[in-house]
Amino acid sequence: MTVRHLILPAFLAVSMLHASEAAPQPQVKQEGIKYIKMLGGALKGELKAHMKNDPSGLEALAFCTSSADTITKEVNAKLPKYASVRRTALKVRNNSVNTPDATDRKVMEAYEKAIADKTFSPKDIKIVKEGDVTRIYKPLVTKAVCLKCHGSALSPKIKEAIESAYPHDHATGFKEGSLRGVIVAEIKKH
């Protein structure tokens, strides 16, 4: 056997290994974005319809309070067993289901830094690999419509309804353009 015969198979093996490691990444990202859109779309559609029906925001607030978690569970029930999707934030309203973990906090702090540095894009999807799980993060920027329930000048009725449903609420005082939170999809190797 010549040296060339030895090198070529070794080279192929290495390049194949790289290919198999690199190839799933864009697919996993696309799959995560699909699940993020499922949850984001479901919540956004309902929020819009309720805000239109009752511009004070009270009807939409009642809807979010009673159904945001149910909708999240319904969307998750449609996903494959190896995947999940949820919302979280640094300042949380519903601390029984939306509390961030250390990884979530790191990613959101990076988004906040990018906003402060003016390098942020709402299209900046972040991918974090932890063992068998890949997380795909999409930032949620505070828009004018969000301020009714997450801003600094809440109407007295909205304020009262939030205080009674969420005695530990931290999700007010946001400004337009600030990071409200993220949607994160988690995809397990399968």
Contacts to ligand HEC by CB under 6 A: 57, 60-61, 64-65, 68-69, 87-89, 92-94, 97-98, 140, 142-143, 145-146, 148-150, 171, 180-181
Cβ closer to ligand HEC: 25 or 56? Answer: 56
d(CA 54, CA 62): 11
Closest CA to 139 of 189, 93, 88, 95: 88
Q: How far apart are CA 68 and CA 46, in angstroms?
A: 10
* CB closer to ligand HEC, 38 vs 149: 149
CB of 82 to ligand HEC, least distance (A): 24
> Is there a contact between 183 and 43 (Cβ–Cβ < 8 Å)?
no
Q: Residue 124 Cβ, how far from ligand HEC at the closest point, in Å?
A: 16
Residue with smaller CB distance to ligand HEC, 14 or 88: 88
Q: At closest approach, how far in Å is the CB of 122 from ligand HEC?
A: 11
Question: In the bound complex, what is the minimum distance in angstroms from residue 47's beta carbon to ligand HEC?
Answer: 6
- Residue whose CB is less far from ligand HEC, 20 or 96: 96
User: In the numeric block, which tokens belong to residue 116?
Assistant: 């402060």
| Chain centroid offset of residue 66 CA | 20
Measured distance CA(45)–CA(59) in Å, rounded: 14
In whole angstroms, the minimum distance from the beta carbon of 96 to ligand HEC comes to 8
> Rounded to the nearest whole angstrom, what is the least distance from the CB of residue 104 to ligand HEC in the complex?
11
CA 136 – CA 186 distance, rounded (Å): 6
- Measuring CA to CA, which residue among 189, 165, 175, 190 is closest to residue 64? 165
- Rounded to whole angstroms, the Cα distance separating 152 from 48 reads 21
Nearer to ligand HEC, 40 or 128 (CB): 40
134 vs 172, beta carbon nearer ligand HEC: 172
